[in-house]
């Protein structure tokens, strides 16, 4: 019986993961979706996508991150944040790959050992 309850709990958690993206999409209309990446010291970061406004995206990302001090937003696109030794970079573009490439390029202008820390894409 205990194994059955654990299996049921696992199925419920998996189902919630599949439902969550559609709920998030309901917050914005396709063609007017905002996202944000928040970051701070000691590797803190969080992101939010498919919000109905810039302010909502900023608030959501910052609300998920303990210690984040900065937030970068993007609209109907993808955003990425990279950090390295004593510096960071940010990029946004139409695809995840292009946003990550821009973030790494910007980071490498100011720091070494840059790595992508977080990315997100709106539904557009």
CA angle 20, 24, 30 (to 5 degrees): 135
The burial class, CB within 10 Å (0-12 / 13-18 / 19+), for 112 is exposed
> CB under 8 Å to 48, separation ≥6 — which residues?
35, 36, 57, 60, 61, 64, 120
pTM of the model: 0.75
Residue 66 lies in domain = 2-121
* Residue appearing with tokens 């202008």: 109
| pLDDT higher than 50, residue 17 | no
How many independent structural domains does the chain possess? 1
pLDDT band at 29 (very low <50, low <70, confident <90, very high): confident
Per DSSP, the three-state class of 122 is coil
C-beta separation of 17 from 54 below 8 A: no
Least confident of 7-11, 68-72, 89-93: 7-11
Instruction: Quote the pLDDT of residue 24.
Output: 46
| pLDDT higher than 70, residue 13 | no
């Amino acid at each position: 019986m205990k194994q059955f309850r654990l299996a049921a709990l696992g199925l419920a958690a998996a189902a919630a993961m599949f439902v969550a993206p559609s709920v998030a999409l309901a917050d914005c209309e396709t063609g007017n979706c905002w996202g944000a990446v928040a970051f701070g010291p000691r590797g803190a970061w969080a992101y939010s996508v498919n919000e109905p406004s810039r302010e909502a995206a900023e608030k959501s990302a910052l609300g998920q991150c303990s210690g984040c001090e900065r937030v970068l937003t993007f609209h109907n696109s993808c955003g990425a944040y990279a950090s390295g030794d004593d510096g960071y970079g940010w990029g946004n573009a139409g695809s995840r790959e292009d946003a990550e490439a821009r973030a790494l390029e910007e980071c490498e202008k100011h720091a070494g050992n840059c790595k992508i820390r977080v990315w997100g894409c709106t539904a557009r």
